[in-house]
């Protein structure tokens, strides 16, 4: 395992914190969008784009790049924030999110530099990631394909079709991450569909399964290191997270799955809490 | 008329094999129907570029998108009912919206699937696929045209839906004819009425025109292989020329060729028309040619529709 310096850990935490701040600013400016599942995935985005993935913001279509599919497309605020911070486009552009003149569509679209796949209709991104992983094998390329899935999303049958095929095709260049924040639009996932034992399910479908705290950047880094030790299986990282993480009134509730702060008071409170979190890093 | 009959599916499989030799970037996907769709011919020749994914049409369309996004030219095949209806949202979100280089070539379109019955007789697919932005829709008239169309879509970037039928088709066009995308072909000229048909219905339109000639009615016959974009100019030209149009398709009369033609007429040059096709009903089991007769979609059906229309026109 590689050494991870305390500075690197701090940097990644600060980026996750910045992604949270930008997420709140984007959804508030747009008066729409999905903060809950963006906030839960902030550390995952920070590690992927600032530690893990081999991408080139100056050349977003670089053929050797690692691919990323945001299968849970509604986490677009956090995704766009990560892309902007990484340099794919300017941070100023972020507040145009969801507006008519903007490239930053409500859900990821190929108009946005750095986006590898259109997503938004849940359950489909893992299939696209399989296609990219198969193409890498066909072309003898060493890039990896990452897909971020929501836990509500995996209620879709298409995901399990894809899960079986990825294992059948021995796609050890494919890494899925499930943002296990336990809440979907209407309610807690387990009140809608019982997903547990989730780790065992993926294992039974032929995947190597790693279970981590999805807010701990070191655990995310270590899990991704293990995922890249090729053993003929695709890897899924079950990242246990908190929906709405970092904004007290958004945490552990379905209410802010797809709603911005409701007024200026809520908006300022969210930013203040994120600022406090930053100071503690 | 004397025609040679040939399987359009076999023509598809053979053309895929030729293309596979020419182009390294071509990959083919199927969902456990490869011996029927004839993609197995490609699979035998190029096993490393052939992915038979099992019964996963939705997953297949997503995988097709991922392969296309990585630079592959992707052909995906299944029966029309599964390739479009079953996987519609995946086709919409993952292929049409990002405008990826995926060719959906579906076999077993229409009621002429025959004995399998309504569950397998896809009569809505042309409507579904024409409604999708970025998709272009082609229904080849015969096996010679299948070869040209498959070749054309392989070399033209972006999403296409190509609809094939199960039965062997008479070769109406010759091997040397040209396929011009977006253009209808006048197979027989005429002055009194125009029969615009697509796919398997074209040969019946020709037979109907022959019968009409015997009654002293001069009927033009148009093969409309490209349903989207449709050949507006030709439709308007023949509306002006003959003042009456009958459309014929192995598809629901809603949202298919007839609807496309009606849209062009109403917006440009309204003349009376009648649509021959499935009358907004699910089909049933039977031999494919018996079914065409049963639903009045054979030459007699088209002939009767033309006579009826000419009565009204008077």
Q: Is residue A1 part of a domain?
A: no
- Chain A contacts of B61, Cβ < 8 Å? 127
In this predicted model, what pLDDT tens digit does every residue of B283-307 receive, in sequence order? Answer: 999 999 999 999 999 999 999 999 9
Query: In this structure, is the dihedral angle defined by the CA atoms of residues B252, B255, B260 and B261, taken in order, positive or negative?
Result: positive
Q: What is the pLDDT of residue B272?
A: 96
A241 found inside a domain = yes
Cβ–Cβ < 8 Å for B13, B43: no
Task: Determine, yes or no, domain membership for A48.
Answer: yes
Identify the CA nearest to B158 among candidates B183, B181, B125: B181
Domain ranges of chain B: 7-170, 185-313
- For B185-313, CATH number? 3.40.50.920
Per-residue pLDDT reduced to its tens digit, B37-63: 999 999 999 999 999 999 999 999 999
The reported pLDDT for the residue numbered A154 is 97
Using CA coordinates, name the residue in chain A closest to B56: A161
Provide, as residue numbers in chain B, all residues whose Cβ is less than 8 Å from the Cβ of A138.
Answer: 27, 48-49, 72
User: Which pLDDT score is estimated for A1?
Assistant: 67
A14 burial (CB, 10 Å; 0-12 / 13-18 / 19+) is middle
Distance from CA of B75 to the nearest CA of A (A): 13
Residue B169 — φ and ψ, nearest 5°? Answer: -120, 150
Fold classification of B7-170 is: Rossmann fold (3.40.50)
Q: What is the CATH number of the domain that holds A187?
A: 3.40.50.970
Residue B1 has pLDDT above 90, yes or no: no
Residue that is written with structure tokens 């003959």 in the block: B242
Q: pLDDT tens digits, chain A, 281 residues: what are they?
A: 678 999 999 999 999 999 999 999 999 999 999 999 999 999 999 999 999 999 999 999 999 999 999 999 999 999 999 999 999 999 999 999 999 999 999 999 999 999 999 999 999 999 999 999 999 999 999 999 999 999 999 999 999 999 999 999 999 999 999 999 999 999 999 999 999 999 999 999 999 999 999 999 999 999 999 999 988 999 999 999 999 999 999 999 999 999 999 999 999 999 999 999 999 99
A220 falls within a domain: yes
The whole-angstrom separation of Cα B47 and Cα B108 is 24
> Band of the pLDDT at B200, cuts 50, 70, 90?
very high
| Distance of alpha carbon A230 from alpha carbon A97, whole angstroms | 38
Nearest to A135 among B62, B70, B89 (CB): B70
Angle A158-A126-A218 (CA atoms, 0-180°, nearest 5)?
Answer: 135
| Same fold yes or no, B7-170 and B185-313 | yes
A135–B66 C-beta distance less than 8 A: yes
Domain that holds residue A265: 6-280
CA atoms of A110 and A119, how far apart (whole Å): 9
Region B112-129: mean pLDDT is: 97
The Cα A198–Cα A88 span in angstroms is: 35
Domain count, chain A: 1
> How many whole angstroms separate alpha carbon B85 and alpha carbon B149?
23
Tens of pLDDT, residue by residue over B63-109, are 999 999 999 999 999 999 999 999 999 999 999 999 999 999 999 99
- Which residue of chain A comes nearest to B97, CA vs CA? A118
ipTM over 0.85: yes
- The rounded Cα B230 to chain-centroid distance in angstroms is 13
Q: Which residues in B80-233 belong to E strands, given as ranges? A: 102-107, 136-138, 160-163, 169-170, 185-188, 193-197, 219-223, 226-228
- Comparing CB atoms, the residue among A121, A123, A135 nearest residue B71 is A135
Interface of A with B (CB under 8 A): 63, 67, 69, 109-110, 116-121, 123-136, 138-139, 157-158, 161-162, 164-165
């Amino acid at each position: 395992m590689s050494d991870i310096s305390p500075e690197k850990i701090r940097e990644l935490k600060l980026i996750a914190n910045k992604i949270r701040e930008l997420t709140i600013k984007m959804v508030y400016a747009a008066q729409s969008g999905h903060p809950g599942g963006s906030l839960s995935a902030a550390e995952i985005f920070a590690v992927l784009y600032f530690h893990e993935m081999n991408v080139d913001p100056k050349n977003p279509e670089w053929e050797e790049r690692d691919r990323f599919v945001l299968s849970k497309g509604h986490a677009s605020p956090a995704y766009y924030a990560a892309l902007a911070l990484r340099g794919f486009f300017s941070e100023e552009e972020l507040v145009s999110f969801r507006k008519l003149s903007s490239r930053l569509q409500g859900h990821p679209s190929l108009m946005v530099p750095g986006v590898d796949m259109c997503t938004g209709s849940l359950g489909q991104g893992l299939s696209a990631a399989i296609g990219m992983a198969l193409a890498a094998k066909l072309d003898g390329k060493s890039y990896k394909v990452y897909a971020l899935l929501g836990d509500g999303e995996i209620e879709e049958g298409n995901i399990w079709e894809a899960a079986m095929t990825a294992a059948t095709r021995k796609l050890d260049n494919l890494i899925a991450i499930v943002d296990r924040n336990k809440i979907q639009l209407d309610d807690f996932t387990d009140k809608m569909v019982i997903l547990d034992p989730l780790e065992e399910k993926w294992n039974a479908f032929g995947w190597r399964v790693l279970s981590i705290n999805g807010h701990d950047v070191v655990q995310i880094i270590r899990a991704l290191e293990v995922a890249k030790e090729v053993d003929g299986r695709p890897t899924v990282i079950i990242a246990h997270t908190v929906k709405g993480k970092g904004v007290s009134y958004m945490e552990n509730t379905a209410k802010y799955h797809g709603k911005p702060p409701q007024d200026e008071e809520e908006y300022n409170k969210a930013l203040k809490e994120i600022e406090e979190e930053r100071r503690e890093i | 008329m004397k025609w040679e009959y040939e399987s359009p599916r076999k023509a598809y499989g053979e053309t895929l094999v030729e293309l596979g030799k020419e182009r390294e970037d071509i990959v083919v996907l199927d969902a456990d129907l490869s011996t029927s769709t004839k993609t197995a011919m490609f699979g035998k020749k190029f096993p490393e570029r052939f992915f038979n994914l099992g019964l996963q049409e939705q997953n297949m369309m997503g995988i097709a998108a991922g392969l296309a996004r990585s630079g592959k030219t992707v052909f995906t095949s299944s029966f029309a009912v599964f390739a479009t209806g079953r996987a519609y949202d995946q086709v919409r979100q993952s292929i049409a919206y990002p405008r990826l280089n995926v060719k959906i070539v579906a076999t077993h379109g229409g009621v002429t699937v025959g004995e399998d019955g309504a569950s397998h007789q896809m009569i809505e697919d042309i409507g579904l696929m024409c409604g999708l932005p970025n998709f272009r829709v082609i229904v080849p008239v015969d096996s010679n045209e299948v070869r040209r169309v498959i070749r054309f879509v392989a070399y033209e970037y972006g999403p296409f839906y190509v609809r094939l039928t199960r039965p062997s088709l008479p070769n109406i066009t010759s091997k040397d004819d040209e396929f011009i995308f977006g253009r209808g072909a006048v197979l027989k000229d005429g002055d009194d009425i125009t029969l615009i048909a697509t796919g398997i219905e074209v040969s019946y339109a020709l037979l109907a025109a022959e019968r009409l000639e015997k009654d002293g009615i001069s009927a033009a016959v148009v093969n409309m292989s490209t349903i989207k974009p449709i050949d507006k100019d030709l439709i308007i030209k023949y509306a002006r020329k003959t003042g009456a149009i009958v459309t014929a398709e192995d598809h629901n009369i809603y949202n298919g060729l007839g609807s496309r033609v009606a849209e062009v007429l109403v917006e440009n040059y309204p003349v009376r028309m009648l649509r021959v096709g499935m009358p907004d009903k699910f089909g049933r089991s039977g031999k494919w040619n018996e079914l065409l007769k049963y639903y009045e979609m054979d030459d007699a059906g088209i002939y009767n529709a033309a006579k009826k229309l000419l009565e009204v026109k008077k």
